[in-house]
Amino acid sequence: MTLRYLKWIAGAATGLAMIGSAHAGTITVYTALEEEEVAAYLEAAKEALPDIEVEALRLSTGDLGARLIAEADNPQADVLWGFAVTNILDPQIGDQLEPYEAAGLDQLADQYKADDNRWFAPVGYMGAFCVNKPRLEEIGAEMPRTWTDLLDPTFEGEVVMPDPGSSGTGYLMVAAILQGLGEEEGWQLIEDLDSSMAQYTTSGSRPCRMAQVGEYTVGASLSFVAMQGISQGYPLEMVIPEDYAGYELEANGLMAGTDNAEDAKRFLDWTLSDSATSTYSEYKAVVTIPGVARSPLADDANLPENLDDVLFPMDFAKSGKEREAIINRWRETVGR
C-alpha cells in the first residue's frame, strides 16, 4: 500500500498532520511538541506504521491543556503525545488517560513513567539563555550565567522569555525559580526581572529565534533551539543557568475510552521504538531512553555530558499542583 504525506498545518484548531493511505486506520493525536519535530517524527512513523493514518493537532502547552479540559466530557483525541508532565499531573487532564504498558516501557527509569502506567516520558526539554554575542558586546554587559545576572541595568529591555501561562517552557522557568528560592524571594526575583523583559512570547522557542537574529540580547528559551541556532551559524552562546535550570518531561498516554485503542497503542509502542528514538536526539537535549546517541549539536554548543550536574531537581508533582495558582499570581505580579 503506497504511503502519501498529505499535509502539515500547525498551530490552529484545524491543523492536521496526516500520514498513511486513504483506507488506513485513523487515530487523532494531540501534541505540544515543536512543529518541526512533529513533522520529522511523523515522517519516521509513516515508515514504521504504514497502515495507520495519524491526524495530529499541535498546540502550545497552555492552549492544549485548556482544550483537553474543555473536551473532558466529549474527548476528541486517541493519544496524548509529547505533553508536559506538569500539566498531565493535573487530575482534570491525567484522569482522562487510561493505563497502558507500552512495549519498551521497561527501559525507562521509574521517574520517567507513572506508577499506574497512565503516562511515560521518553523525552524532555530544558531551559537555557540564548545570548547574542555581538549585541551583548554592544550594550557592554557581561555574559549572564544566572537569572540574577539579568537584573543588571544593562539588560533593561534586552531580554525576552515565554509567558508561563501559554508556554510550558515559560512555566518551567518560573517554577524552578520558585522551587529554588522559595515563595517570597522567588516572587521578588520574578518581579525584579520584569524590568529587563522586553516582552513575553506565547512560544517557548521564539525568544531564542529573536535573539539569534539580534532583535534582543537574551532569549530565555529552549536549549535545543539554542543548539540549532549555533549549528546554523548564528552568533549565539547557549548558557544553562547556574542557579535554576528548569526542565520538563514530555509524556505520552492513551486517552481513556478511545474507539481506536488498537492503533493508538501501536502508535504509543512506536514512540519507544528504535524508529522513533533514532530521531529524538536530532531535536531533544533531554532523552530518557538509555543508549540513544548524543547529538553532534550538543557538542558544538558545549552541552554538559551529564545533565544531572546542571538541571535543577524539579518537583513535577508540586509544579502540577501549584500551576494554576502560580500562573494567576504571575499575571497579577507582571501584569502583561
Least confident of 66-70, 140-144, 246-250, 308-312: 308-312
Rounded to two decimals, what is the model's pTM? 0.80
Q: What is the mean pLDDT of residues 84-105?
A: 95
Same domain, 196 and 73: no
Structural domains in the chain (count) = 2
**pLDDT value at 252 more than 50:** yes
Q: Are residues 282 and 191 in the same domain?
A: no
Q: Which of 219, 187, 171, 190 is nearest to 64 (CA)?
A: 171
Across the range 159-177, mean pLDDT stands at 94
Residue 188 has a CB neighbour count (10 Å cut-off) of 12
Model confidence at 10: pLDDT above 60: no
> Is residue 130 domain-shared with residue 120, that is, in the same domain?
no
CATH, residue 13: 3.40.190.10
Do 165 and 305 belong together in one domain?
yes
Same domain membership, residue 117 and residue 134: no
Q: How far apart are CA 108 and CA 134, in angstroms?
A: 42
**Phi and psi at residue 180, to the nearest 5°:** -80, -40
Share of the chain above pLDDT 90, in %: 75
Does the pLDDT of residue 18 top 50, yes or no? no
Measured CA to CA, the distance from residue 214 to residue 207 in angstroms comes to 11
Mean of per-residue pLDDT scores for the chain: 90
Q: Is residue 204's pLDDT more than 80?
A: yes
252 with 242, same domain: the answer is no
Comparison of pLDDT for 14 and 146, the residue scoring more: 146
| Segment 153-160 mean pLDDT | 98
pLDDT at 3 over 60: no
Neighbouring residues of 137: CB distance < 8 A, sequence distance ≥ 6? none
Do residues 197 and 302 share a domain? Answer: yes
Q: How confident is the model at residue 24 (pLDDT cuts 50, 70, 90)?
A: low
Same domain, 81 and 210: no
Domain check: are 17 and 101 in the same one?
A: yes
DSSP letter assigned to residue 151: G
Give 284 or 186, the one with higher predicted confidence.
186
H-run or E-run covering 201: strand 197-201
Same domain, 199 and 327: yes
Owning domain of residue 23: 4-124+248-293
Indicate if 152 and 184 belong to the same structural domain: yes
- Answer yes or no: do 210 and 264 share one domain: no
pLDDT in tens, 263-315: 999 999 999 999 999 889 888 888 999 888 787 888 888 888 888 888 889 99
**pLDDT of amino acid 66:** 94
Residue 248 is predicted with a pLDDT of: 92
